[in-house]
A and B are shown apart, each in its own frame.
Chain A
Amino acid sequence: MSMIQPAELVGQTGTVVRSHVVKKILKNPLGLASVIVIVFMIALAVLANVLAPFDPNFANIGKTLAGGDTVNLLGTDSVGRDVWSRLVFGARTTLLSALLCAAVAIVIGLPSGLVAGYYAGKFDGVANWVVNVLMALPGIIVLLTVRAALGPSVWISMVAFGILMAPGYFRLTRTAVQSVRNELYVDAARVAGLGDTAIISRHIFSVVRAPIIIQTAVICGVAIAIQSGLEFLGLGDPSVATWGVMLNEGFKNIYLSPLLLLWPALAIGLTIGALVLLGNAIRDALEDAEKIKAPRRGSGTAQETLAATRHLPGRTSPAAVEAGTEHHLVKVSHLGVGYPQADGSIKKVVDDVSFHVDRGEVLGIVGESGSGKSQTAFSILGLLPDSARIVAGSIQFDGKFTVAPTDDRVSQARLGGYRGKRISYIPQEPMSNLDPAFTIGYQLVTPMVRVLKISKAEARKRALKLLDDVGIRFPEKTFNAYPHEVSGGMAQRVLIAGAISCEPDLIIADEPTTALDVTVQADVLDLIRDLQKRLGVGVILVTHNFGVVADLCDRVAVMQNGRLVEDGDVREILRNPKDPYTQKLLGSMLEDKEPMTMLVSGGMGAAQAAARDDDPDAKEMAL
């Protein structure tokens, strides 16, 4: 087998990866079980002549509907045929016919999918129409018609069914090829002078191979089911022993000998089940199973270890909250956030972070991606992913614990009273943060109706006012628009309007300008600053950009690898950064500019005013 060959020899053909997949399938208990069942069935089929003591159609009229004994292992049917022999020969016919069906489907679906996906054009159009026709056909009715026309042969009906199943392969191949066709490496291969055939066989087959194997397992299962079904109806060829014919025979004698039903039903169920499981096992093996399983498994076992860690004395005693700091709007004390791993350990993403925000104050949390700044912000909002755990510390909002020192999760009940009403959120990516299925107006009105308990008409009036406040030129039009009908900058304004709609005390803005066009960024920052001044709210601004911090914040906290490395007054830190990481961040963000010049508000203001004159959103909407 090529699997044993050294890696250098097999190189890029993917054989090494495949052997890895085979190992993974066999390691998965369900995968192993399915392989065993399928191998067993194949062995029955191949060795039928050896394993079966009788010809499948040999009838011993003197011994009908007998129970199992040493001669007839599983007994005999109503005309005295040996059940075991028929079962074994049935495996042969059933498996061969399933393979035939899959083979026909592959032979038709794969090449047509390749051509349609690779060359597109007219052939693609025609092929898609044919696929629509085939998919509108109810399988059994077609097979009944085919049987009426061409006779009751197992093989003919399986060829016909293969044709009906071809669209599955066609679509799969076509989609895969379409996605690969425009990849750079395929272009590169074409530039390098590779012919279409070489490109298809080298690059495209490697992409569609795995899905096709999975599809084949599924199709074989369906073929066995449908073929047995037809034969069960008495529409098969009665002279050929198959599991379906045996089911039919058993059903006729259901009152006399129910066991006759059991064996073929068991064989069918086991084989189809094994095929389905094998398909799943291959898919799991191909996906990176580890990554998906870890957080899910974590909920059970890791929670216990967590509970233990939380109760370690001295780790997070309530005394960690300093007395006399209750007047802060938000007080985060020694916060630790972690994610349970598959091995029971906890990966900390936030470690011993403490800071506070006062009313009307803007705190910037700065750090590069992965520094834990967003996780810290989401802990305050109570919007961490389900798998996240608070491993240490506490959070107080307006003097009350939202995360008490002994909690291992953010209490949704406690935060539910604050979220939307007193703490609000401006997300990073404007488009994905609006529900595409609802109008902007609906998404502004509903929170006000739910949180402020005002009427819809009242909320609508306020929403239009808010849209006007955040600088949207045609509030009515935007109110009735769906998210996909407005630009990114506009969507961000809508989200800011949503964040201030219920008059919060604290706004948490998570990289509010990162996803926007450079020309719009300054506008949005301006807007946040204006609103903050006017409403006197506290703001936590999460960002990686010291420029934004310099522009907006009163104080700044610098984070690196989940830890707070430095915090204090913005001017102080910009002028005199103590931590080397802060120095590095400042150096890279401000390039060669003097930090001081960034704080001269006149220069920034002029730049923003210039940007505002060129408001692309308003223009877009006016069109």
Chain B
Amino acid sequence: MVSFILKRIASGISVLVAISFFTYCLLYFSSANIARNILGEYASQAQVQAKEIELGLHRPLLSRFFEWAGNAVQGDFGASWFTSEPVVSAITTRLPVTLTLVIVSIVCIAIIATLLGTAAAVKRGWIDRLVQGAAVVGDAIPDFVLAIVLVAVFAINLKIFPATSSISPDAGSAAWVASMTLPVIALLINGIASIAQQIRSAVIKQLEKDYVRTLRSRGIPEWEILFKHVLRSAAPAGLTVLSLKFVGMLGGVVIIEQIFALPGMGALAVQSTSQGDIPLVMGVVLYTVIIVIIVNLLVDLINGWLNPKVRVS
């Protein structure tokens, strides 16, 4: 088990290094006019050159990358070229907003989709048709289109929720919940629809297994068979899709945050990439990838815990 975790961490680090280098190269080619952009139109050529030297823009790609990587390993991601705000603090003030949004959505999706998918598999009938129909509709409408519709209906026409909410986490929990509700719903629908579908087919597959019949023959109550045995075996399939959904959501949330004007990582990503603020972009990319790697590791661990066969190998 320990060697399995170490192996996964090692492969995670190799992925991280590859992505950092690749992103750095990509950004290197976009940083031609960066000093001019930072100083503005009226700066003199000498000032621009001084700035370029200060930022190290004159140096070759590899030496710049290794300097950045050396600092990053020690936890120093530098400061934004435009605002001079340290990258770590810029990210840590915004990360909670994004993570709350994503984690609340994923947890809701996991719970609701499991209940719906299981009900559809066991009861069939109308609830099954509902889940199957919702899966198609959910797939058809992208999160952000749904978000726009929600804003138009609930925030602008009915005025139930705030349309935009540039509030900070300390603005009081009621305002916080109110401003998070619509974005979470926008992220939920699609996820519930597709994951409920996955859970449904996984549960149906498990219910047809021989061991379920044997458990019934032993007098084990139906609810116990369903929740202890069937769902446990069906969970890995659902978890895998859920982790893919999580990765997708870390990206998708960028648009959702823009629609609802939430001060999360999305705004930071859009702003830093459009300015070419290399330290900030690298910070955003690294944090995101680290989160993805941690989530994938967690999913592997949970799957190992659920399935003793995986645990052995």
Contact = CB atoms under 8 A, between A and B. Distances in A.
Interface of A: 30, 129, 132-133, 135-142, 144-150, 221, 225, 228-229, 232-233, 235, 247, 251, 254-255, 258, 261, 265, 268-270, 272-273, 276-277, 280, 296, 299, 381, 383, 412, 416, 419-421, 423-425, 427, 429, 432-438, 446-447, 450-451, 482, 484, 495, 498, 502
29 contacts: A137-B19, A138-B247, A138-B250, A138-B289, A140-B254, A141-B285, A148-B275, A149-B29, A228-B142, A233-B254, A251-B259, A254-B151, A254-B156, A258-B152, A258-B156, A261-B148, A265-B148, A269-B145, A276-B139, A276-B140, A277-B136, A299-B125, A419-B218, A425-B217, A427-B213, A432-B209, A436-B309, A437-B233, A495-B214
A320 B48 CA distance: 103
Contact of B11 (A132, A235, A383): A132
Nearest to B233: A437
A138 B26 contact: no
Contacts of A484: 308-309, 312
Contacts, number: 201
* Interface bin, chain B: 35 or more
B71 interface: no
B217 A381 contact: yes
B22 to A, nearest CB: 8
A447 B209 CA distance: 18
Contacts of A258: 152, 156
B64 interface: no
Given A251-B148, A433-B210, A424 B136 contact: no
B311 to A, nearest CB: 9
B247 A419 contact: no
Contacts of A228: 142, 144-145
A436 B292 CA distance: 30
A484 B310 CA distance: 11
A268 B141 CA distance: 8
Contacts of A423: 217
A447 B220 CA distance: 6
A56 B44 CA distance: 41
Given A129-B15, A276-B139, A420-B219, 20 more contacts: A133-B19, A136-B15, A136-B296, A138-B251, A141-B254, A141-B288, A144-B274, A149-B30, A229-B252, A232-B144, A233-B254, A233-B270, A254-B151, A273-B139, A423-B217, A432-B210, A433-B211, A435-B229, A495-B214, A498-B218
A438 B230 CA distance: 12
A280 to B, nearest CB: 7
A145 B27 contact: yes
Nearest to A280: B136
Contact of A434 (B211, B292, B309): B211
B137 interface: yes
B298 interface: no
A32 B261 CA distance: 40
A502 B219 contact: yes
A383 B209 CA distance: 13
Contacts of B218: 419-420, 424-425, 446-447, 451, 498, 502
Given A141-B284, A148-B276, A229-B142, A136 B216 contact: no
Contact of B140 (A269, A420, A502): A269
A427 B254 CA distance: 54
Contacts of B232: 437
Contacts of B224: 450
B80 interface: no
Given A132-B11, A136-B289, A435-B215, A225 B142 contact: yes
Interface string B1-33: 000000000010011001100010011011000
Contact of B274 (A129, A148, A436, A495): A148
Dominant SS among interface residues on chain A: helix
A272 B309 contact: no
Contacts of B30: 148-150
A299 B229 contact: no
B219 A421 contact: yes
Nearest to B214: A433
Given A141-B254, A268-B145, A269-B145, A383 B15 contact: no
A235 B151 CA distance: 21
Given A254-B152, A276-B136, A435-B229, A419 B217 contact: yes
B255 interface: yes
B273 interface: yes
Given A141-B269, A434-B211, A232 B255 contact: yes
Contacts of A451: 218-219
Contacts of A149: 26-27, 29-30
B210 A144 contact: no
B306 interface: yes
B248 interface: yes
A437 B310 CA distance: 10
B97 interface: no
B219 A144 contact: no
A235 B272 CA distance: 13
A206 B30 CA distance: 44
B101 interface: no
Nearest to A449: B220
A287 to B, nearest CB: 13
A89 to B, nearest CB: 20
B24 to A, nearest CB: 10
A420 to B, nearest CB: 2
Contact of B18 (A133, A225, A435): A133
What are the 6 closest A-B residue pairs judged by CB atoms, nearest first?
A420-B219, A273-B140, A140-B251, A425-B217, A138-B251, A225-B142
B165 interface: no
B273 A148 contact: yes
Contacts of B209: 432
Chain B CB within 10 A, most for which of A138, A235, A251? A138
A87 to B, nearest CB: 15
Contacts of B308: 436-437, 482, 484
B307 interface: yes
B124 interface: yes
Contact of A450 (B142, B144, B219): B219
Interface in B232-280: 232-233, 244, 247-248, 250-252, 254-255, 258-259, 269-270, 273-276
B149 interface: yes
B95 interface: no
B281 interface: yes
A265 B154 CA distance: 17
A264 to B, nearest CB: 9
A451 B215 CA distance: 12
Contacts of B289: 136-138
A235 B221 CA distance: 56
B144 A136 contact: no
Interface string B48-78: 0000000000000000000000000000000
A447 B141 CA distance: 47
A515 B57 CA distance: 72
Contacts of A280: 136
Contact of A419 (B11, B219, B275, B276): B219
Contact of B281 (A148, A416, A434): A148
Given A133-B18, A136-B247, A432-B210, A424 B156 contact: no
A383 B220 CA distance: 13
Given A133-B19, A144-B254, A296-B124, A138 B273 contact: no
